[in-house]
Amino acid sequence: MNCKEQLEANTKRQDDGCLVTAIVHPGSRKQDITVEDGVISIRVSSPPIEGRANEEIVKLFKKKLKIKVSIVSGHRSKRKTLFFHNTGCSEIVEKLCRG
């Protein structure tokens, strides 16, 4: 399976957006968003203290992909469910699997 097929299997369409599972790697040297085995992998430099890594995730998606995202579950976990507002799942998959 290619990136698009794997990631599509990990998305859930909602009326006003898309839900996707992600794994976060706080305390990384650089910020990055990739797809690994159908799961969004997010590297942020902030530590997982007082929600700093979560805040950086939201800012990173807005800056890099121009997408508004909220963390729906997993606020204190490396595994998170993200909600992409007013964006179709196919658009998320397309943006993340480019390259």
pLDDT at 6: 93
Is residue 49 predicted with pLDDT exceeding 90?
yes
- pLDDT number for residue 98: 84
Residue 63: pLDDT band with limits 50, 70, 90: very high
User: Going by C-beta distance under 8 Å and a sequence separation of 6 or more, which residues neighbour residue 85?
Assistant: 16, 17, 67, 68, 69, 70
pLDDT given at position 7: 94
Judged against a pLDDT cut of 70, whether residue 79 lies above it is answered with: yes
Length of the chain (residues): 99
Specify the CATH number of the domain 3-96: 3.30.1200.10
CB of 37 within 8 A of CB of 26?
no
Cα 30 from chain centre: 16
